[in-house]
């Protein structure tokens, strides 16, 4: 869609539900108040049209899936996971929580599942926040220490948790729990399919939940299937 100043906010969001996140970020009502033009919305909320157009036009820019993560150094992979996936969770959790709370409040009387989805997402958001802090403060620094020790040909300091297997086992259990919660949300939302006639906030919630799940799958894959097994091997090599 070629976006112009005369398109209404509702038109743009209806054409691509992901653009709802851009309007939400700037405080622009894309749901009930979406009938105004982008030009008027920008004037009302003190946003330049050029900035808005740029953000809307890049909303679908794909991130490359062609990386060969298996060849990456572990310290670089750790930085990638933090900068891409941890940042994604931190930046998008608040938005999903806002959508979920609004949909549950407005539509929960008719669509009981959205009330449960709201509760489930609050739970997974809290779990992921604590989970990522444990990785960033405990596990990831030790993996980087192992990489540094291997490069320098020295022994890594003995961690207080004994062996890297211990925090890894905990992280994998927490990954499984977060994955199970998202599976339940997917089931309750009929594979993230909004009901016929759903408002734009309802659609935005389900689109964002689907995106969140996809990122989580990639996030967990990089850790469970690449980072963790290689960290275990590197620790064994360092003994």
Q: How far apart are CA 136 and CA 131, in angstroms?
A: 9
3-state SS, residue 190: coil
Summarize pLDDT for 23-78 with one digit per residue, the tens: 888 988 887 677 899 999 999 999 999 999 888 888 866 554 567 888 999 999 99
- What's the number of CA atoms in the CB half-sphere (13 Å) around residue 126? 6
Given the structure tokens 């980072």, which residue do they identify? 227
pLDDT of residue 211: 95
Contact 206, 191 (CB under 8 A): no
Q: Residue 23 and residue 197: Cα distance in Å, rounded?
A: 21
CA–CA distance, 146 with 77 (Å, rounded to integer): 13
What is the tens place of the pLDDT at every residue in 160-215?
A: 999 999 999 999 999 999 999 999 999 999 999 999 999 999 999 999 999 999 99
Task: Please say whether the beta carbons of 21 and 60 come within 8 A.
Answer: no
The answer on pLDDT for 13 being more than 50 is yes
Backbone φ and ψ of 37, nearest 5°: -75, 160
The three-class DSSP label of residue 37 is strand
pTM score of the predicted model: 0.82
Residues in the chain: 239
pLDDT at 64: 46
């Amino acid at each position: 869609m070629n976006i112009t100043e005369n398109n209404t906010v509702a038109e743009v969001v209806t054409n691509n539900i992901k653009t709802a996140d851009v309007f939400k970020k700037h405080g622009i009502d894309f749901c009930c108040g979406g009938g105004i033009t982008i030009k008027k919305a920008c004037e009302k909320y003190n946003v330049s049209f050029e900035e808005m157009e740029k953000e809307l036009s890049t909303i679908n820019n794909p991130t490359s899936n062609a990386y060969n993560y298996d060849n990456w150094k572990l310290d670089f992979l750790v930085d990638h996971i933090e900068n891409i996936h941890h940042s994604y969770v931190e930046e998008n959790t608040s938005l999903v929580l806002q959508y979920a709370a609004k949909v549950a409040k407005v539509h929960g009387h008719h669509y009981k599942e959205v009330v449960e989805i709201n509760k489930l997402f609050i739970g997974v958001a809290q779990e992921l926040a604590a989970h990522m802090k444990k990785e960033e403060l405990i596990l990831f620094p030790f993996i980087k220490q192992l990489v540094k020790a291997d490069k320098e040909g020295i022994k890594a300091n003995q961690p207080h948790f004994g062996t890297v297997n211990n925090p890894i086992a905990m992280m994998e259990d927490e990954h499984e729990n977060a994955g199970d919660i998202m599976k339940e949300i997917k089931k309750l939302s009929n594979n993230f399919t909004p009901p016929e006639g759903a408002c734009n906030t309802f659609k935005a919630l389900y689109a964002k939940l689907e995106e969140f799940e996809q990122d989580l799958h990639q996030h967990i894959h990089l850790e469970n299937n690449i980072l963790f097994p290689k960290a275990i091997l590197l620790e064994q090599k360092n003994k």
